Structure 1
Amino acid sequence: MSSKLGKYEPIEEGREDTTASKYPITQPTPTLIWIAFGASIALCAAAIAFLAVEIQWHSVTPYTQSLYPQSKSQKYTCGNSTEEAKQRGCTFDILSMNWLPEQCPRDETQEFIDYSANETWVYYRDRHAEHPIKSTDELSELGDKFWWSTQREHLVHCAFMILRLHKVLERGGKIDHLTGSFGHTKHCVMMLLDASKADPENDRVNTPGNIALGSC
């Protein structure tokens, strides 16, 4: 029996491995490293910029909150004249000195009337108090003409108007344009503050107070 063995040829020196030649192992160059580093920095900067814009947006965008949800509803008006106001079913409100639709609140009107019964002020057609207005009906028919009264009447009007504002906010619902006007409320507050300076008794130390823990 005989067997034939294949011949083995010695590997020549300097011959490269075929696997290594097909799949060469390359080392990253300094340029690639810097590119990757720069891309990472850019992504971080973009993320920080996005967060900064979000924070700035929420800090400058007004957050509106009210005691009750605001919904679009019909606006009721009394027209452009006393006659038109009557035709639309509006009635005269002596507290606000306005003809108002029936849908508008009348909080504190009766309280104002009751308080006025114990006061001495009178409404006049002129500044010199020579032509008194005899009734509420006559007062309500003045239209765009001026009426005149005392500073005390003005202050009491302001106090009850502020009470009306608070009651409507607490309850929710419609509010007439004068009661809801910040300009009018500020005017009334300043009137009350100025009046408080006129009485020397207001400088006496006679008012106690305490510190409380509030909530909102």
Structure 2
Amino acid sequence: MTFLGFLKVFKGEKKVYNDLPSSDMESEQTLLKGNSNDILSYSKKSSKIHQVALISGCIALILLSAWGLFSLYNTATYYVAQSHNSPEKFAAPIYPSCSCGGTTVAEAKRRGCIFTPLAIAWLPPHCIDMELSNTFDKEGPGPNGEWDYWSDINKTRRLTREEVGDLADYNGVFYSTQDWHVTHCVYTWMKHYRSKWTGVTIERRSNGLDHISHCKDVLKIRGGLQEIKTVAGIALDADDPGRSEL
């Protein structure tokens, strides 16, 4: 190119490049616009994924924290219950009273109480499983299933059922066989079990681990069932552990 030609180019009289066709420019703009939309769309999707992941993580953290607190609560509750419900500290649940009140058999009768050898006590009707009590009275060795009750260990005098009930007036005791005692324990357990549907209230002195432990010891006693190994008093207040079988 001559110097004159260069000046013409410099002055704008001639272009050293060619303009892109309008169709090519539109294509480039469309491509740029499309890329921009793709980038924006990807950015939005990425943001949503991030939000979902963040929310999911928070929910998982909350659930794990809740489960941890629940486990700690259960563990603490278990050990507290263990410390308070040991056999030494066990207390029988509160039920309607099985006490006849007063200090005499006459008072007990006026209050509607009935003597039942099974309980070794005078009890109000709601504390007596009458069917079971009557069956117990016929489990003895007598001709009609009567039990033998004696005034002393030497069998000096036989006591009637009524005389046994009257012992409550003067804190007297009766003597009977190992057979009577074992049968009493078994029938008391039967009374407990039947109370689920009979609705009978179990007298408090028989409704606890102490009485079960006592019966366990009775079952382990060596010797014949017809030997005199039982001495017991009659209660007017069956809510009081007091003196029963010995």
TM category (shorter chain) comes to: 0.5 to 0.7
Larger Rg: 2
What is the correspondence of 1:40-55 to structure 2 with a 5 Å cutoff?
53-55=72-74
Residue 148 of structure 1 deviates from its aligned partner by 0.5
Helix, strand or coil at the partner of 1:148: strand
Helix, strand or coil at the partner of 1:141: helix
Change (3 A) 1:58 1:192: same
**TM-score, structure 2 normalization:** 0.49
Residue 139 of structure 1 deviates from its aligned partner by 1.0
Larger strand proportion, structure 1 or 2? 2
Q: Work out whether 1:152 is the aligned partner of 2:179.
A: yes
Amino acid at match of 1:59: Y
Residue 121 of structure 1 deviates from its aligned partner by 4.9
| Partner Cα separation in structure 1 for residue 212 and residue 108 of structure 2 | 25
- Consecutive unaligned residues of structure 1, counting only runs of 5 or more, are 1-43, 65-70, 200-216
Change (3 A) 1:91 1:172: closer
Change (3 A) 1:164 1:53: same
What RMSD in Å do the two structures reach over aligned CA positions? 3.5
Residue 74 of structure 1 deviates from its aligned partner by 4.6
Q: Work out whether 1:180 is the aligned partner of 2:207.
A: yes
Higher relative contact order (CA 8 A, sep 6+): 2
Q: Work out whether 1:113 is the aligned partner of 2:132.
A: no
Does the aligned pair in 2 maintain the 1:95–1:157 contact within 8 Å?
A: yes
What is the correspondence of 1:1-216 to structure 2 with a 5 Å cutoff?
53-62=72-81, 74-81=96-103, 82-106=105-129, 107-116=131-140, 117=142, 121-133=147-159, 135-143=160-168, 144-194=171-221
Change (3 A) 1:111 1:84: same
Identity, % of aligned pairs? 22
| Partner Cα separation in structure 1 for residue 71 and residue 155 of structure 2 | 64
Larger helix proportion, structure 1 or 2? 2
Give the number of aligned pairs.
147
| Partner Cα separation in structure 1 for residue 138 and residue 200 of structure 2 | 25
